[in-house]
Amino acid sequence: MTLPEKMDRFVQVLHLDWIVREKQPRAFRWAPLLVIAALVTGYVLMARTGGAVVPDFFIGWLVFYGAFLAAAFLRALGPRFTATVHRPLDERELMVKARAHATSGVVLAMAVSLGCFYMTTSAVPSLWHPQVMDWFHLGFGVQAVSTLLPTWIASWLEPRPARDLED
């Protein structure tokens, strides 16, 4: 048995081949909101410690980067944004993709603009301002939200599935 055959068998034994199989796209209407809440909660727990290695920092780190991974999985399992060889995007899917990305771009631009205006308040001593590692984590947070927002918006643009009369 060659190495690629062994690796293929290993993937089949662990049932990891479900990732590459053709899946029916899903509309996640509320799950992205929970992931965004987990991102914010994890970031606040990490930033509150001021970079000190305490249990709150590790809990925040786990919550934040767990939500980062969940955002990637929701993007992959949510509405279709990329065409495959056997199934190109139809006109409706292209329209939903364009509207979702345009709307999320506007929302992100507004949020980042407001964040820039907030950062100009560095003279006010009672307000929080990010430290060096907080900026690092904030970059990952913006990246996660930028992959999650189009999925969330496209999920709301998708029509609700028709109810089966036999249910």
pLDDT tens for each residue of 109-124: 999 999 889 888 877 8
Q: Of 60-64, 86-90, 92-96, which range is least confident? A: 86-90
Is there a domain that residue 19 lies in?
Answer: no
Enter the DSSP assignment of 15. T
Answer whether 50's CB lies under 8 Å from 131's CB.
yes
Q: Would you say the pTM of this structure is higher than 0.95?
A: no
Measured at the CA of 142, the angle between CA 64 and CA 16, to 5 degrees, comes to: 55
Place of tokens 């999925």: 151
Distance in angstroms (rounded) separating the CA atoms of residues 109 and 30: 23
Is there a domain that residue 47 lies in?
Answer: yes
Is there a domain that residue 31 lies in?
Answer: yes
The one-letter code for the residue type at 57 is F
Domain hosting 146: range is 26-81+88-157
Confidence of residue 161 (pLDDT cuts 50, 70, 90): low
Query: Could you report the per-residue pLDDT of 15-43, keeping only the tens digit for each?
Result: 776 666 666 667 788 889 999 999 999 99
